[in-house]
Amino acid sequence: MKKQIKLIAAGVGSRFGVYASYARRHPDEVSFVGFADANEERLRLHAEEFSVPAENCFSDAKELFNAGIEADGAVICTMDSMHYENAMDAMKNGYDVLLEKPLALSEEHCLELRDTAIETGRKLMLCHVLRYSPFFTKIKDIIDSGIIGDICTVQAMERVEYWHMAHAFVRGNWGNSKRSCPMILAKSCHDTDALLWLCGKRCKRVSSFGSLKHFKAENQPEGASDRCLDCKYGDSCPYSAQNNYIKRVEEGYTGWPVDVVMRDATVEGITEVLKTSDYGKCVYKCDNDVVDHQVVNMWLEDDIAISFTMSSFNTKHGRTIRVLGTRGDIDADMSEAKIELSVFGKEKEVIDLSDSMSDSAHGGGDDRLFADFLSLLRGDATNSKSQTPISHTADGYLVCFAAEKSRLNGGAVVEL
Ligand SMILES: NC(=O)c1ccc[n+]([C@@H]2O[C@H](COP(=O)([O-])OP(=O)(O)OC[C@H]3O[C@@H](n4cnc5c(N)ncnc54)[C@H](O)[C@@H]3O)[C@@H](O)[C@H]2O)c1
């Protein structure tokens, strides 16, 4: 039988739900022994559910990490701007850490966290769920097998669904780069991370273009209101709060992103909330400034060229990737759970991963990542291909900062 891992957790909001859900289903593998959250109600509900005593519950993460609670590790799911301080506090108090992305909001802080982990010998694992999705692990296996030869080119795309963009990156937590961080860091750090991990090489040079083209005041339709509920375009605007939230509740759906606006939503309840909440604002009249489309070019060791595109104008969510090698190529679509493998001169093989990718969110990545963190704490994760030491994981972040620097500098090449 596996040893039960005891964890403390800071920030028990929306994302923490993934780990709470795992713990509910696998109580023999993991338990929570301390919580911190600024939201009293969330703190109380989680403490009740996981029988965490009041003396181990705090309104601030710092207090939790300084409380001397005996635990095998810490999970940090606070908002982006708190990651640096929280992870530092956790490591300095002797905890191994599972930290939500992004690692930190500045290059200096990312490097400090990396160096602190190395100096203190603490394990610092980032929640880069793509690495754990059977979709990406299969692509990694194919590349590492050598069957497609040496990689020359990778063409990757992250398709953010139009309503997801409106929810999270226009109206929501990640719309404004000063309150959170640039899109390349908030959303596409998963991609820079996965691309470097797949290639197993370091990036040497980066350039990038991108802008906020659509979600701004000048594109508000004539006569539109600044709040959706009294807007004449309510039904016809694809981004309206009516379409994004109320319609979903009418259809009986109350999961993400509806639950970010209101837990256990009813039509009447969410309609009332949207009258004043930021999630009821016109997408053309928010305080957002993060890009809605961006391309990044990366030049890696071994002459590997990667082009990555993020766009918010999609009906389909997910990633596509083509890996072109000297002896074959991979053409894969995550939303279709399908990988086409062609070895030059042989018949194409189509790999269907739909069964293995549907067992948890992020293409099956969420559960596998958390299970691997628990294995790491038990000391039996040495065979996981998805893990890399923090010294490597931090590299993907250096690409994000370089890309943003390049974008703001007209696409100039940034050397790493
Ligand atoms: N790995 C992924 O794919 C993935 C997916 C979604 C979100 N995330 C990341 O997860 C993190 C959390 O996102 P979320 O959507 O859960 O946000 P959230 O706002 O729902 O949760 C953050 C929680 O932190 C709490 N908090 C605020 N101040 C605090 C303090 N001083 N001490 C302790 N807790 C405090 C808030 O009350 C809230 O409950 C973000 O960094 C986000 O980027 C990662």
Which residue type sits at 180? Answer: S
Q: For the residues 374-392, what does the mean pLDDT come to?
A: 83
Nearest CA-CA partner of 135 in 380, 366, 337: 337
- What is the whole-number distance in angstroms between the Cα of residue 65 and the centre of ligand 1? 17
Cβ of 189 closer than 6 Å to ligand 1, yes or no, is no
Retrieve residue 244's tokens.
Answer: 């994004």
The mean pLDDT of 284-309, rounded to a whole number, is 98
Q: Where are the chain's structural domains?
A: 5-126, 130-215+288-362+389-415, 234-280
Question: What is the rounded distance in angstroms from the CA atom of residue 146 to the CA atom of residue 156?
Answer: 20
Q: Is the CB of 60 under 6 A from ligand 1?
A: yes
Domain 5-126: state its class: alpha beta
187 lines ligand 1 (CB under 6 A): no
> Ligand 1, atom 21: nearest CA belongs to which residue?
13
Distance CA 384, CA 406 (A): 34
Question: Considering only CA atoms, which residue is closest to atom 5 of ligand 1?
Answer: 15
Residue 382: pLDDT band with limits 50, 70, 90: low
Binding site membership of 15 for ligand 1 (Cβ less than 6 Å): yes
pLDDT of residue 381: 61
Q: Give Cα separations from 254 to 83, 247, 257, 264, 280 (angstroms).
A: 29, 10, 8, 6, 16
Nearest CA to ligand 1 atom 30: 60
Chain segment 130-163, per-residue pLDDT in tens: 999 999 999 999 999 999 999 999 999 999 999 9
Residue 363 has pLDDT above 90, yes or no: no
pLDDT band at 376 (very low <50, low <70, confident <90, very high): very high
User: Domain 130-215+288-362+389-415 belongs to what architecture?
Assistant: 2-Layer Sandwich (3.30)
Q: By CB neighbour count within 10 A (0-12 exposed, 13-18 middle, 19+ buried), where does 256 fall?
A: middle
Question: From atom 7 of ligand 1, which residue's Cα is the shortest distance away?
Answer: 15
From 37, 44, 45, 191, give the residue whose CB has the most ligand 1 atoms within 8 Å, as the site to mutate.
37
- Residue 396 — pLDDT band, cuts 50, 70, 90? very high
- Note the pLDDT of residue 383: 60
Ligand 1 center to 293 CA (angstroms): 24
CA 390 to chain centre: 17
Grouping H, G, I as helix, E, B as strand and the rest as coil, residue 223 is: coil
Of the candidates 382, 381, 384, 397, the residue with the CA atom closest to the CA atom of residue 131: 384
Q: Quick check: 62 pLDDT over 70?
A: yes
